[in-house]
Amino acid sequence: MQNAGVDRRGPSQEEVQRQLERILSSREFRLPERARKFLEFVVTETLAGRRDYLKAFTIAQAVFGRDANFDAQQDPCVRIEAGRLRRELEHYYLTDGSADRIVITIPKGGYAPVFEAVRGAEPMDMLPLDQSDRSGLPGPGLPGNDAEQADVVEDTVGRDTMNQRLPRPRYRLLAAGAVIIIAAAATVFQQMRSPGPERETASAADHRPTIIVERFESGSEGKLASDISRVMTDEIIEKLVRFDDIVVVTAMPRNKNGEASPEALYALQGSVRLEGSKLHSTARLVRRSDAAVIWASNYDADMTVQGTPKTQASLAGDIATAVARPFGVIFQSDTATIAGKADAFSCILSYYSYRSEMTVQAQAVAKSCLQQAVEKTPADSNIVALLSLIHLDEFRFSYQLQMKSTSATLGVAKELAERAVRLDPKNARALQALMLADFFGDDPAGALVAGAAAYASNPNDTEVAGEYGLRLSMSGEWDKGCTLISEAVGKNAGPRGYYEVGMALCAFMRGDTQAAELWSRMSDLNYNPMHRLVLLSILGARGKTQEAEEQLDWINSKAPALIPNVRREVIKRLARVEDQERFFAGMEAAGVSVRGGEALKE
């Protein structure tokens, strides 16, 4: 059925070109220059009638500077950058572009853009470039780095498949709904705390978002489809309960009067459909307070590849990860929205918000919140683990947070991590904190034991998988570690651009400096000065001394203490001498002489 809000006749070339310029000039279009070139290239080629030539190979050469040996199966740079671009276009049309008449999308399954004109919107030349009809929306949108998979489609809120778009009013409703998750949660928490003494002894888990998993519907007739829908539901529940940040229920909570309780903030709904050996599944997360769909996705798989049981388990894992992963849809928030609160869920939100922002101010707010929460609920393993992690951040992100790392700070983090594990030996977040405390405490063997336990506890937790992959890699187990990092990137793990620097190191250590530079530039270079240090070494190894000097100038300006202490910082992170020497060789080639405990610019 044709969308009533879209003019299928399409806009003119001039309108598309003006829309492209409008997007690229918007402060809400936040991608680096390479992604901008990507968008400009595919739009220009499509307008020129060459959309059929927009393949990964062509884009890799034109935009990424790859040579004729480029293999899209081995190097996913185009696929990943396309995912980031799709996400950022979505963010733009939820913010600055919410009133735009011309809509540019890049449908899944290819790289050719689609241009549509929305009926009822004002012509673009009537709107100033800085106009935004935000309807109360905030600035920064959904963080993340997409890695597109041919068999898994993970969409953000409000995105229809292929060429279809939601009507404009619904876009605004869903976007605004995503913003008020925190407000809705706060209201529920207040209701939960108010009745009296019974609430004062309630478990800390009562303050966390509760998801009711409804049985997935069968879209096909027959017993097989019915069985698959039942098993899929059970598999999703089993994988969701491993995430300690949420509470999972299978029936609507009831109060003493038998009335439906407001404690189930979200409902996970879905369906499965069979077409021969192909299994098609849809899933959506609905906020119960206003029935807004805040996330939706489609998944497809061929059951002959892995067999029915493994296919069901794999899709269930993808759905559980998309719904409950840290930094995902439930945990997107603005620190200012929750400042001053110290219940468990608010502090969890505050922590993930701080890790996305990585600012001194956000860190202080999150740390204070977690300290208060631990005092109120000292037996909450998850909160104690996050407090451990935020102390660890003062050690591993000291140059970004402008703090002096000390052994005392590391000692506090280690003590908190051990306490969190004692409270709940199977808590993946607690084991993750212990892994990092051991790693930076110069106990890589202990770190890998804790990391393996964390990963075994919840392999679908993208932060556990990504951090464990980093520690494996930096301990010298590059093959195993880089596989986990790659999977984490593919599932949008962590803050934007965080694990890409791990992929850069993976490529660098295997001698592929071209791929290493690409991954390094895809990371968030402003997230941590150490990210720029990685790029500096890679550029030195590639003989790009002028570009390396630019990175060195930035480091000396923003983190002047890093280069004088660089040898210590690198050795603290790379366990093997041969890996350290490869890194230092890149720095030497960039003109930085590393001697003993200090480094000097030649």
How far CA 421 is from CA of 344, 351, 416, in Å, comes to 18, 19, 9
Report how far residue 181's alpha carbon sits from residue 302's, in angstroms, rounded to the nearest whole number. Answer: 36
Nearest to 318, CA basis, from 254, 232, 257, 387: 232
Residue 176: CB partners within 8 Å, gap ≥ 6? 135, 136, 137
Region of 327 (left: φ > 0; alpha: ψ -120 to 50; beta: rest) is left
Dihedral of the alpha carbons of 364, 368, 369, 374, in degrees to the nearest 10? 140
- Can you give the pLDDT at residue 72? 75
* pLDDT 10s digits, 443-476: 999 999 999 999 999 999 999 999 999 999 999 9
Instruction: Give the whole-angstrom CA distance, residue 540 versus residue 529.
Output: 17
Judge contact between 370 and 383, C-beta under 8 A: yes
Quick check: 329 and 178 in contact, CB under 8 A?
yes
Instruction: Please tell me the distance from the alpha carbon of residue 54 to that of residue 39, in angstroms, as a whole number.
Output: 12
Among 399, 405, 401, 404, which residue's Cα sits nearest to residue 554? 399
Give me the pLDDT at residue 260, please.
Answer: 53
| pLDDT tens, residue by residue, 194-207 | 333 333 333 444 46
What is d(CA 550, CA 567) in angstroms, rounded to the nearest whole number?
20
User: Parallel, antiparallel, or unpaired: how do β-strands 278-287 and 247-249 relate?
Assistant: unpaired
Read off the tokens for 351. Answer: 């922590």
CA distance 449 to 438: 10
Nearest to 508 by CA among 582, 441, 448: 582
Q: Which residues of the chain have pLDDT under 70?
A: 1-9, 68, 119-207, 252-264, 332-342, 595-602
Residue given tokens 């660890």 in the structure block: 392
- In this prediction, residue 257 carries a pLDDT of 60
Q: What is the CATH number of domain 181-324?
A: 3.40.50
- The residues near 280 (Cβ < 8 Å, ≥ 6 apart) are 219, 272, 273, 274, 298, 299, 300
pTM higher than 0.85, yes or no? no
The fold of 481-602 is 1.25.40
For residues 95 and 175, give the distance between their C-alpha atoms in angstroms, rounded to a whole number.
9
- CATH code matching the domain that covers 326-458, chosen among 3.40.50.1820, 1.25.40.10, 2.60.40.1120, 3.90.1150.10: 1.25.40.10
Give pLDDT tens digits for 281-302.
Answer: 999 999 888 888 888 988 888 8
d(CA 232, CA 316): 6
Do residues 352 and 401 touch, judged by C-beta distance below 8 A? Answer: no
Residues of the chain with CATH 1.25.40.10: 326-458
365 vs 407: CA distance, rounded Å: 23
Q: Above pLDDT 90, what percent of the chain?
A: 47
Of 502, 442, 438, the C-alpha closest to 473 is 502
Query: How confident is the model at residue 193, as a pLDDT?
Result: 34
Task: Please report the pLDDT score of residue 127 as a whole number.
Answer: 39
pLDDT for position 288: 83
- The DSSP call for residue 48 is T
438-471 in b/e form (b: 16+ CB < 10 A) is bbbbeebeebbebbebbbebbbbbbbbbbbbbbb
pLDDT of residue 19: 93
**Could you tell me which residues come within 8 angstroms of residue 592 by beta carbon, excluding any fewer than 6 positions away?**
536, 540, 552, 563, 566, 599, 600, 601, 602
Write the secondary structure of 558-586 as one string of H (helix), E (strand) and C (coil).
HCCCCHHHHHHHHHHHCCCHHHHHHHHHH
Q: How far apart are CA 179 and CA 287, in angstroms?
A: 12
pLDDT at 388: 97
Q: How far apart are CA 185 and CA 443, in angstroms?
A: 40
| pLDDT attached to residue 344 | 77
Cα end-to-end span (Å), the chain: 67
Instruction: Give the span between the Cα atoms of 548 and 540, in whole angstroms.
Output: 6
Give the chain's largest Cα–Cα span: 77
What tokens were used for 101? 């008449």
Helix axes 577-589, 566-573, angle to 10 degrees: 140
Residue for token pair 């011309």: 102
Which three-class secondary structure state does DSSP give residue 247?
strand
Provide DSSP, 176-239: HHHHTHHHHHHHHHHHHHSS-HHHHT--GGGGSPEEEEPPPEE-S-SHHHHHHHHHHHHHHHHH
Helix (H) or strand (E) holding 332: none
DSSP 468-536: HHHHHHHTT-HHHHHHHHHHHHHTT-SSTTTTHHHHHHHHHHTT-HHHHHHHHHHS-TTT-HHHHHHHH
For CA atoms 262, 177, 154, 356, give the dihedral sign.
negative
Alpha-carbon distances, residue 271 vs 90, 211, 232 (angstroms): 25, 17, 9
pLDDT given for residue 108 in this prediction: 81
Q: Which two structure tokens, joined as six digits, stand for 511?
A: 């001698």
Q: How many CA atoms lie within 13 A of 578 on its CB side?
A: 8
